[in-house]
Amino acid sequence: MPSMDERALEVRTLGRTPYEATLDAMRAATDAVATGQEHDQLWLTEHESVYTAGRRTDSSDWVAPGTNVIAVERGGRITWHGPGQLVAYPIVRLSGKGRDLHAWLRLLEDVIIGTLAEFGIVGERDPDGTGVFVERRKIASIGIAVRRWVALHGLALNVDSDLTAFAAIRPCGFDATRMTSIAHELAPARAPDTATVQRRLVAVFRERWAAYPR
């Protein structure tokens, strides 16, 4: 059984998954990491199509009546997950100086920005919120929660998503036309596949996580 002091990171590549089953498994893993039964983990997945609503979701965020939405404990507002979108869930202990949620959000933004840079895309922060943008077009969303000082939920990076899926909602409170993807930003011949983006994201996350305050 790994101890609470070990900093090993276990990367789990899940493939395409249903959201609710993954959510239940993530909550169970969070408890296991909190009690020292398991190492820190980074989960990578593409979800089957689903809309999820964080704690700050407003009634105005629903555009299409009757849209099925799953309410979750993460921060942020409503968003869509689905094929072509890389979702990363770091389930990691935040300890010492690392118990700074603003710093944790900045780390996740750094991971996205560093990943995009590999493909020649300049990602930018929004000074008034979270997530990563490309010239004011939103390419990645972030929503986190913390349980017993273990982080859960995480980030969603649009690789080659069907952006029309966002039209049923106001994603993160924005007009859906502001959403973009790596494939949309690059010429088709230059667009990487999800597996390539995933490998880069894991490498950047390992680097940033190793340097994160403890």
Positions annotated as catalytic residues are: 172
Among 111, 100, 133, 112, CA closest to 213: 100
| Number of Cβ within a 10 Å radius of residue 2 | 15
Sheet containing 40-47: which strands, arranged edge to edge? 9-17, 40-47, 85-91, 150-158, 137-147, 132-134, 124-125
CA distances from 211 to 10, 174, 204, 205 (A): 17, 33, 11, 10
Contact 17, 46 (CB under 8 A): yes
Dihedral in degrees, nearest 10, Cα atoms 154, 158, 159, 162: 140
Provide the token pair at 45: 């997945």
CA distances from 199 to 30, 107, 144, 155 (A): 23, 18, 22, 15
Sign of CA dihedral 90, 71, 24, 80: negative
Query: The tokens 């008034």 sit on which residue?
Result: 128
Provide the token pair at 98: 């690392």
